[in-house]
Amino acid sequence: MTDTVIEIRGLQNRFGSHVVHDGLDLDVYRGEILGVVGGSGTGKSVLLRTIAGLNKPSAGSVRLLGTNMQSATEAELDAVSDRIGVMFQDGALFSSLTVLENVEVPLKTIPDLRKETREDLARLKISLSGLPWNAGDKYPAELSGGMRKRAGLARALALDPEIAFLDEPTAGLDPIGAAAFDEVIRDLSRTLGLTVFLVTHDLDTIYAVCDRVAVLAEKRVLVTGSVASMAEVDHPWVREYFLGPRARAARGTIDARPAKG
C-alpha cells in the first residue's frame, strides 16, 4: 500500500539560459524519509522550493498530496500548505518574535483555538523538537545556530503536517548536535507517520535516518534506492560520494553504533 504523496513528472527549471532541472521524475511515498543528495549547484534546494510551491517550474508537473501545484486554485494551494511544513536552512524564524510566538504563528490559522491551548501546543512542539522550556521566551538572535534550526523545525511541525521539507537540517552543527537532530527527525517520522523530504550534504545524516536516497545529477534524479544499494550504482559521482573516504567513515560509525528502535 505505497501511497505516493509527491509525484514529479518531467520537471524542468531554468533561470535565464541556465537549466537546473530537465526531465526530472521523482516519487516520494508516505511515511518515508527521503534524502536528496547531489553536488553543489545541482538544484537540491531549487527542487525543494519547487515542490513546496515557492518556485514555478518552466515545464513539467508536480503533484503534492494529490494536488497539481501548477493548475491548483489559490484555495487549493492554501489547503495544501496547511498539510506541509518547511524548515529553511537557518530556521528563517521571524526575528521580531520570540521562539514561542514564532511557533504560534501557524497555529493562529486555526479558528476558535483558545489562547492558552495555543501556547501549550506551541510549548509542546518546542519540547518535541528538543529545545528546553526557556528557549521559548528567547528571540532568534539569542539562540545558537543549532537551536534556531530546532525552533524552525518546531514551527514547521506546528500544524502536524503530513510532509516535512527540511533544507540542510544538520549543516553547520557540531557532530553531537547533528546526531541529536538526526535522532529527533527519525523519532518524529516514526511516531507521527511523518513523510520527510530531506536535502542534505551530510553523509552521517543519510546513513542514520534516510530510508531512501535520491541522487541529483545531470539535471535529473539519476537514481533512487536504499542507502545500501547506492554502493552498486555505476556512476562516477555516486561512486565517489558513497564509496569515498568520508562515506566509509560515516558508514563505519553507523555500523558500530548499537542498533536502536
Partner 1 sequence: MGVIRFVLAGTLGIRDLPDLEPSLRALTGDQPVFIDLERAELIDTSIAWIILSTRKRLEEKGQCKISGASPNVARIIDTIASAIPEPEPSAKEGPWLAGFLGRLGSGVVNSGVMFARFAGVLGLFIVRLAQSVIHPREFRLTALVHQCEAVGLQAVPIVALMSFLIGVVLAFQGSAQLRQFGAEVFVVDLIAISILRELGILLTAIIVAGRTASAFTASIGSMKMREEIDAMRTLGIDPGHALVVPRVLALVLMLPILGLIADGAGLFGGALMSWLELGISPAMFATRLVDGTEVSNVFVGLVKAPVFAVLIGVIGCQAGLQVGKTAESLGKMTSSAVVAAIFAVILADAVFSIFFQQIGL
Nearer to partner 1, 36 or 80 (CB): 80
Nearer to partner 1, 12 or 127 (CB): 127
Quick one: which of 191, 240, 244, 246 contacts partner 1 (CB under 8 A)?
A: 191
What is the rounded distance in angstroms from the CA atom of residue 87 to the CA atom of residue 96?
Answer: 18
Nearer to partner 1, 99 or 199 (CB): 99
Tell me how far CA of residue 155 lies from CA of 100, 124, 137, 182, 244, in angstroms: 9, 11, 14, 17, 36
Please tell me whether residue 123 binds partner 1 under the rule CB under 8 A.
Answer: yes
Quick one: which of 12, 55, 81, 127 contacts partner 1 (CB under 8 A)?
A: 127
Nearer to partner 1, 120 or 240 (CB): 120
Please tell me whether residue 89 binds partner 1 under the rule CB under 8 A.
Answer: no
Exposure b/e, 174-204, CB count within 10 A at least 16 = b: eeebbbbbbebbbbbbeeeebbbbbbbebbb
Using CB under 8 A as the binding criterion, the count of chain residues that bind partner 1 stands at 27
Quick one: which of 114, 115, 245, 259 contacts partner 1 (CB under 8 A)?
A: 114
Quick one: which of 110, 228, 231, 249 contacts partner 1 (CB under 8 A)?
A: 110
Quick one: which of 120, 174, 218, 232 contacts partner 1 (CB under 8 A)?
A: 120
Query: Which cell numbers hold the place of 148?
Result: 534556531
Please tell me whether residue 3 binds partner 1 under the rule CB under 8 A.
Answer: no
φ and ψ of 4, to 5 deg: -85, 120
Quick one: which of 3, 112, 234, 255 contacts partner 1 (CB under 8 A)?
A: 112
Please tell me whether residue 97 binds partner 1 under the rule CB under 8 A.
Answer: no
Supply the minimum distance, in Å, between the C-beta of residue 187 and partner 1. Answer: 7
What does R_g of the chain's alpha carbons equal in angstroms?
18
Query: Which cell numbers hold the place of 244?
Result: 569515498
Beta strand spans in 30-129 (E) = 33-38, 59-64, 67-68, 84-87
What is the rounded distance in angstroms from the CA atom of residue 22 to the CA atom of residue 14?
Answer: 8
What is the rounded distance in angstroms from the CA atom of residue 41 to the CA atom of residue 166?
Answer: 17
Q: Containing H/E element for 223? A: strand 220-225
Q: Which stretch binds partner 1 (CB under 8 A): 4-12, 13-21, 108-116, 215-223?
A: 108-116
Please tell me whether residue 40 binds partner 1 under the rule CB under 8 A.
Answer: no
Residues that bind partner 1 (CB under 8 A): 95, 107, 110-114, 117, 120-121, 123-128, 132-134, 137, 141, 159-160, 187, 191-193
